[in-house]
Every structure is written in structure tokens, then in C-alpha cells.
Chain A
Amino acid sequence: MIEAEGLTKVFRDKKRVEVRAVDGVSFRVEPGQIYGLLGANGAGKTTTLRLLATLLKPTSGAATVAGFDVVRQAHEVRKQVGFLAASTALYGRLTARETITYFGRLNGLGDPEIAVRTRRLTEELDMGEFIDRRTDKFSTGMKQKVSIARTLIHDPAVMIFDEPTLGLDVLAARTIVRFIRDCRERGKTVIYSTHVMSEVEKLCDVIGIVHGGRIRAEGTLDALRARFGQRDMEEIFVAAVGGESALARQDVPPATTR
């Protein structure tokens, strides 16, 4: 379960100008649900997910993850979360197994337990061939599998994915999509960001369209279709953010809209 209430994050850029990267965002994700944050570059997706993963502290507002407060119980939150992003690379000089073991230990698991779970993950993700090789020579798809295993080793209740299919080929992207579905099947709470319209259509139970740090529209795919009178996700998205002209202006600091 994830609950965000008026979540806000203000950065100061190099000229000390305030940037409202996330501006009063509220939403709720239930276990066994996939919530999709859909937005263009700079919309505030990464910042929102970093706030949930306790990498950043909110300027105002609050959020709980698996019942723990992201500010006051950050340590507990991190134990409940698997966070996967383009910015969470692997240690190139470690082997896949060493990487998984390292994160298992940091999560407080004992070595026998880690061994059992690693064996199962190796099978599920088909990593047998390269589990004992250094990750720096891996293809993007292989790296992605190891990263998934790294996020799953402590069997977290909440999964946070920041544009997980970015830069992957079709095959690797499909593996990821399948894996995110699996997480839902296992009853995990999943939040997920992307700018790929087709992915949200296929995958998400609830979609939140973000722009300028705010959620402009939210609901199931059917509800959004009904509300905007469009079938195509792209059309819905453009309508939700206020037309193509608004999209073109997305670099304008969101602070002005407050």
C-alpha cells in the first residue's frame, strides 16, 4: 500500500530559482494494483518516486509506504521497497551472484536464505548462464534481470519502477512488462512511471497523468476514456495536460501555476 498526501518537492536550480518538481501530489495504490505515472520528460515522475523510495525528503506533504512514513520511518520504508530505475546501475566489478548477495545481506537476510532465494530467482529470470560472471560485460537485458533480482531478494511488499523499459530492446522490455505483471499477481503494490503510452494501456490498473509536477487526471483506463471522450491514450494524455501548447511549455517552471 502506498498513500501520498499533498506531496511536494521544491528544488533550487543553479540560479537559486525555485523549481516545484512535485506539487501537491496525492494518490493511493492498493496491494495487487499497478499504478502508472504517465508524463513527459521533466513532469516530476522521477522526483515523485524518489520521494516514495526515501531518496529525497518532501518539502511538504506526506506519504506512507507499507504503513511507514517516508520521513520519520525512512529506514523501515526502505526495507519494504524494491526500487528500480535507470539511475540504479549495477556494480560492474561484482558478479551477478555477489550483487544479489550484497543486497540480501544489507536487507538483513542470512546467507542460507539468500542462497535459496538466489537459486529461485536465477531460475525464474533464466540467469543460470551468467550468474557467476561480472556484470560489467552484460547486455542491457542481462543487467536488467540482475537488477530485478537485486530488488526482489528481500521480497518487498512495494515495488517502485522508474521508466524501467527505457532504452531496452523489444524482447528485454517485454520481459520487464511480464515481470511487473508477476509482481501484481503476487499481491505486491506496484507504482511505475513511463512516457510510453502503450505500456500504460496494457499494464496499469490506475493511471495518473502528471505534468508540471501535478497530477492532471487520474483513473482507470476506461474512466479516463469516458472522461476525455477518446480511446487513444496519447489523445487522452494531450487533452489531460491542456493541449499541445501546454506540453511545449513544459520547461516553464511549474511554480508559476500555483
Chain B
Amino acid sequence: MNWNQIRTVYGKEMRDALRDRRTLLSMLLVPALVIPGIMFAFTAVSLKVVKKAAEETPAVMIIGPGNSEPLQKALAGSPKLRLVPAASDYAQQISDKRIRAAVEIPPGFEADLAANSIATVKIYTYEGEMKSSFAAGEIDRILREFREAAVTRKLGERGLNASFVRPFEIKRQNVAPPEKVGGNLFGGFVPYLLIILSVVGAMYPAIDLTAGEKERGTMETILCSPVGRVELVLGKFLTVLTISLSTVVTSITSMALSAVGLVHLFAGKVGAGAKAVNAATGQQLPMVDPVGVLGVMVMVLPLAVVFSALLFSVSLFAKSHKEAQTYASPILFLTILPAMAAMLPGVELNAKLALIPVLNVSLIGKEMVSGSFRYDMMALIFGSSCLYGAAALAVAVRLFNRESVLFRT
């Protein structure tokens, strides 16, 4: 292996690529402008939605308000609900979002309560609708309080203590670090993003350095020079890899900076919004382990080698950019599928899955981002990815020796 030649080819290809506006566009401009733009817009819009939902006092209907004066009063006393007169088309009104929920107090409620026979109070909601669930949550809270009070009162009448029906309390304590909680919710997305970015980043240069070279008629120029085929492939491949990884790094940096910027920009609002969301969903907002993200980037490295070499080989068959793109798009698809599979709940990493490219890195990445490191699995995955990378590279070198591929007519 002639390292001087590899360096010469690499140096020339990098210079060539960096003078190409399209490379710069995909490597720098998209991560630097488009990503923050999307993140900003997304945050602004979702904050607005959450805030509006939290601010709006939902309209709620009581069906049969006369059936229990005290319960009706308790509901009317909540500042978080706005009561509207009863109507028979409550279901339609909820669907039309004219009201957010309805609560039905059955006839004879007070009598049942006094006679110790069990009545049922129904809450009508629109499942999956945030504002409806806010309203239902508040109704639910008031009903529970009302029930507690009734129980306490009844026990008191019989000279019993509240502990009679509540001999002990149950409390659930979360021991997972906050990252872990976020990890399951959001962590799957980080490796997915890194993998997709590495493919997208490799796509254009892989095509340009092979099919593009054929299209521009410089392939023969380089093939008749005394550069070795292995050296030529490695020099070109390293260029593709560099650009792919640069895309990943600029994107991640841009995302991190945008996130910091967004927190500053929306400081107060994020706090309020997050609290509202937490209250509504009972979950924590995502947190990621920065060491884990760096670790995932290392794990993605051999995967980027696989993609770069694969895209490189496939594009070599093509005679033009356009043709190469049709060959390369299925590869993008092939990587998106397993990366998405890893985001499904319940897919857990084991030794067998650790050998499936893309899926393995996505799964381990999910764990790493949430701050848990299984070193044996990490080694297995990194090692197998390296092997796949070497194999893909060997294929590329073989193809570069095939005249039927290079001189396809």
C-alpha cells in the first residue's frame, strides 16, 4: 500500500469536493441553517400550542346538575373549568370542540350516597385531545376529592378514623436517573438521527466521486495514471467518509447550539410549557447524556464506513449522477427501516440483534444516550460494524478493477 498516493488522491479529492458548491451546501449550509430553523419553528409552534392549551379554561358541561347540589358547587368552584348549561347534544359538542368534556351526575346521586349504594359518575372526553384531557383531569381530581370527603364524613359519623379504610399508603419512587427516563422517550431518536445524517452526508460525494467522474469524463484520465486501484479507492473513499462525518458533526453541533439558544430565547416560556406538559402527561421532559451522544458518534463511525463504501460501490455502476441517485435511494431506505425498528418499544438488544447492522447501533445508541453502557455489547457491535465496513470496502476495490463496471456502455 502506497500511503503517499492515498494522501495525494485524498488531498486532491477533498480540494475538489470543497470547491463544489453542492458539497458545501449539503455539508455546511443545511446543518447550519436548516436544522436550527426547523428546531426553532418546531419549538415555537409547540410552545404556543401547549401554552394555549394550558391557558384556555376549558368549557365543561354538567349533565344533571340538580342531582347533586354539593358536587355541582365543587365543580363550579374550580378556576380551571368553565361551566356551560346542560344540553342533550353534549357528545356532538365535545367532538366539535365547542366543549372539552362533560360530567354526568346520575339521578338520585345524593340518595344513593346517603344509602351507601354505589352510583357512577361519568366523564365524557375526547381521547387523545390535549385540551380535553386537561379538562377531564381536573374533573377527575375534583370528583376524587369529593369522594374522599364523603368517605371521611361517613367514617366520622361512625366514630372511625380515616385510616380505617386506608390502613397504609402506597408510594412509587423512581430510582432511574432522569436521563434514563428521557432515554426511552427520546433517546432512540439520537442514534437514528446520527445514522441517517451519515448516510445523507455520504450520498452526494459518493456519487460525485464515481458516477460524477464518469459523467465529466475524467475517469479514464485517472485510470491511465500509475495510481494503484486500492490507493485510488481508499483516497476517494476517505474523502466520502470525511464529508459524511463532517455532515454529522456540523449537524450535531448545530443542533446542540440551537438547543442552547432556544432555551435562552424561550427561557421563561419553556419552564411554564414544560411544567404544563409534565402535569398533563405525568412524564419528564427528555434529557440526554452528552457522553452517551459522543459514544454513539464513535459507534456510528464504522457504520459510516459501511454506508460510504456501499454508496461508493453502487454509484460506481452508474454512468451519471441521475442514474446513481436511483441506485442510492434504496440504500437510504434500507438504513431508515432498521433504525426505525429500533425506536419501537419492546425491541431489546441481544447478541443476535447485535450482529444486524444499523439496528444494532440504533439499539445500543438508545441505551448509551440514556447513560447506560454495556461494554461487551458495544465491543461486539463496533467489531461487527468494522467487519462489515471492511467487506464493503473490499467490494468497492474489486469493482474498481472490473472494466465492465468502469467502461459500461
Contact = CB atoms under 8 A, between A and B. Distances in A.
A50 B217 CA distance: 15
A196 B278 CA distance: 82
B43 interface: no
Contacts of B409: 13
Contacts of B216: 89, 91-92
Interface stretch (A51-59, A119-127, A225-233, A241-249): A51-59
Given A87-B217, A106-B8, A78 B15 contact: no
A93 B223 contact: no
Contacts of A88: 217-218, 220-221, 224
Contact of B407 (A56, A92, A108): A56
B133 interface: no
Interface string A59-93: 00000000000000001001101010101111111
Contacts of B225: 78, 103, 106-107
Contact of A91 (B5, B16, B227): B16
B217 A89 contact: yes
Interface string A97-126: 010001101111000000000000000000
A94 interface: yes
Interface residues of A, number: 30
Interface in B1-47: 4-5, 8-9, 12, 15-16, 19-20
Given A79-B226, A106-B226, A98 B15 contact: yes
B96 interface: no
A85 B222 CA distance: 12
A91 to B, nearest CB: 6
A75 B406 CA distance: 17
Contacts of A78: 224-226
Contacts of B19: 93, 134
The listed residue with most A CB atoms (<10 A of its CB), out of B5, B20, B221, B409, is B221
Given A89-B221, A102-B8, A105-B8, A94 B226 contact: no
A120 B409 CA distance: 39
Contacts of B226: 75, 78-79, 106-108
Contacts of A54: 224
A106 B227 contact: yes
A92 B17 CA distance: 11
Nearest to B227: A106
Nearest to A56: B403
A57 B224 contact: no
Given A94-B16, A102-B8, A106-B8, A55 B224 contact: yes
A156 B361 CA distance: 50
Given A75-B226, A106-B227, A91 B218 contact: yes
> What is the interface residue range for chain B against chain A?
20 to 34
B228 interface: yes
Nearest to B217: A89
Contact of A55 (B5, B16, B227, B403): B403
B218 A85 contact: no
A54 B222 CA distance: 12
A114 to B, nearest CB: 11
A54 B403 CA distance: 10
A150 B218 CA distance: 12
Contacts of B15: 93-94, 98
Contacts of A134: 19
B407 to A, nearest CB: 7
Contacts of A93: 15-16, 19-20
A71 to B, nearest CB: 12
Contacts of A92: 216
A106 B16 contact: no
Contacts of A89: 216-218, 221
B22 to A, nearest CB: 11
A228 to B, nearest CB: 34
B218 A55 contact: no
B207 to A, nearest CB: 16
B220 A85 contact: yes
Interface in B342-359: none
A79 B225 CA distance: 7
Interface of B: 4-5, 8-9, 12, 15-16, 19-20, 216-218, 220-221, 223-228, 403, 406-407, 409
15 contacts: A55-B224, A57-B403, A75-B226, A78-B225, A87-B220, A88-B220, A89-B217, A91-B16, A91-B216, A91-B218, A106-B5, A106-B8, A107-B225, A107-B226, A150-B221
Given A78-B225, A106-B8, 14 more contacts: A55-B223, A78-B226, A85-B220, A88-B224, A89-B217, A89-B218, A91-B216, A91-B218, A91-B221, A93-B16, A93-B19, A94-B12, A98-B12, A105-B8
Top 4 A-B pairs ranked by shortest CB distance? A89-B217, A78-B226, A83-B224, A88-B221
